[in-house]
Amino acid sequence: MEETRRFVQRVARRGGYVVNPDSEHTEHLIDGLNRNVNRLGYYACPCRDASGDRKTDRDICCPCVYNEPDQEEYGHCFCALFLSRDFVESGKTPRQIPERRPAEKWT
């Protein structure tokens, strides 16, 4: 878990994001990422069903390819693990956002 926590902090630092301050939500997601890395060998998104094939799941390896456009449009990623600074400063709280991953990739 500690390694996964460090991973999340690293992603946030590199992207200039804020890790969701809702610690219960964030711990749940970190636990999901940790399970995925132990089970699959890579950090598959904890909010999506991974196929187990790294190539197929490349788009949902955290930080997923949908993260940037979701940050731009909604101020946070699909899981609401990473929030933009502007979003946090606005005082808004994350909400359910549309799945940007094409339906044909859902498993």
Nearer to ligand SF4, 66 or 91 (CB): 66
> Under a CB-based contact definition with an 8 Å cutoff, are residues 46 and 53 in contact?
no
Residue (75 or 81) nearer to ligand SF4, CB: 81
Nearer to ligand SF4, 65 or 90 (CB): 65
The answer to whether residue 60 forms part of the interface with ligand SF4 (CB under 6 A) is yes
- Spatial CB neighbours of 7, under 8 Å, sequence gap ≥ 6: 33, 43, 62
Interface size with ligand SF4, residues (CB under 6 A): 12
Q: Per CB under 6 A, which of residues 73..92 are in contact with ligand SF4?
A: 77-79, 81-82
Q: Does 62 bind ligand SF4 (CB under 6 A)?
A: yes
Angstrom distance (rounded) from CA 19 to CA 64: 15
Give the number of C-alpha atoms closer than 13 A to the C-alpha of residue 21, restricted to the C-beta side. Answer: 8
- Name which of 37, 44, 52 is nearest 101 in CA terms: 44
What are the residues binding ligand SF4 (CB under 6 A)?
A: 45, 47, 60, 62-64, 67, 77-79, 81-82
